[in-house]
Amino acid sequence: MSGYLVSTDGSPGETLLTRTLPLTTILDYETFYGNGSIMFKKLRNTIADVLIVSAVNGSVNNVRQGMRPVAQECVLMWCVKTMRSSYDSGRYKEDILHTFFNTTEGQAPWISTPFQTDDQNGTDNFYLQDVHINLGLTPEGRTITGFGTPNYTASSNIQGFQDVFPSFTTSNDDQAQPMMRWKTWQRGSPWIHDLEYNPWMAPNNVTLHMERLATAMTNVIRSAPSRNILPGQAFFEESFISVQWEWLAFPFMLLTFSLVFLVSTMVKTSQDGAIGIWKTSAMPTLIQSLPPNVQKELLSVGSAEHAPETKRVRIRLLPERVWRVSGLPYISPNLKQREEQRDPTGWI
């Protein structure tokens, strides 16, 4: 599971970084640790039960220093899942409510038959059991029955992992690209592949990689032409909003007081007569644009008690006669005008 080669001059050479070891070999049907499992002895009809061993942090130097590698046992098995499906905003979602595994005791599914001919001898292995998952109970008390797969489908899935289980990855140093050797079952040398990424190597999440592998296999089986559609109900999600009105008391009070203040201001200013109207009108702007002597005459009568009603004062700008102010006896500011040419009262 860990080690490195040593050259003739004593320097370290190719170093073992990862190794995957199935606990049941299909070629000669050899099982390790009794029934081919360490931590999952109760599971039946497993697809793959494999040890995945990696150097600490995937480092060559850690192996050469004799650090103990990281070992994990991973298993793929058949199961039945109870799911709750939902549909919202164009997205389909499934929540896993319950997962049932077959843990009933039984004979081993593989049968080995030795053979011998004039040219060769060996062992034929046959997977004779159909996978049946029955008599399970969901949390609601419903019976699980009728789920499974025939033996040829089970054996095809198992044999598909012979290429990668077993396999091993080596490297000469931490800067070199690791090299994977796989398909070790064939005669001669195994296949070699340079790995840009190794999901089995620490500190990568091996568990997550196995879960994604199981999900991909599940999706392939569910999409197969020979699939059986099970009736069920799919729901769409609907959002509900709960309003706690006590939290809206302060904004409502603030809005109410603002309206009361606005209305009271309007009532108060409407009772001030000409002063309130004068302060909110455009009269100051118009008066400031008049000649200085006219402004002085207007300001001389601008006290609050003698101020005229603003609504009766009108100022107009005529194209030929310039300014016209109604209600006041203004004289023209043009002192050069002769007496007989003076404008009428109210003209500036």
Q: 280 CB contacts (<8 Å, ≥6 apart)?
A: 269
Q: What is the pLDDT of residue 248?
A: 86
Q: What is the pLDDT of residue 67?
A: 92
The Cα-based distances of 190 to 138, 167, 182 in angstroms read 46, 9, 6
Q: What is the pLDDT of residue 279?
A: 55
The Cα-based distances of 228 to 39, 149, 171, 221, 342 in angstroms read 33, 11, 47, 10, 109
Q: What is the pLDDT of residue 169?
A: 93
Per-residue pLDDT reduced to its tens digit, 15-64: 999 999 998 887 767 788 877 889 998 888 889 999 999 999 989 999 99
The candidate with the shortest Cα–Cα distance to 297, out of 242, 228, 346, is 346
The candidate with the shortest Cα–Cα distance to 327, out of 305, 303, 348, 304, is 348
Report, as ranges of residue numbers, the positions in the chain whose pLDDT lies below 50. Answer: 274, 302-304, 307-310, 330-338
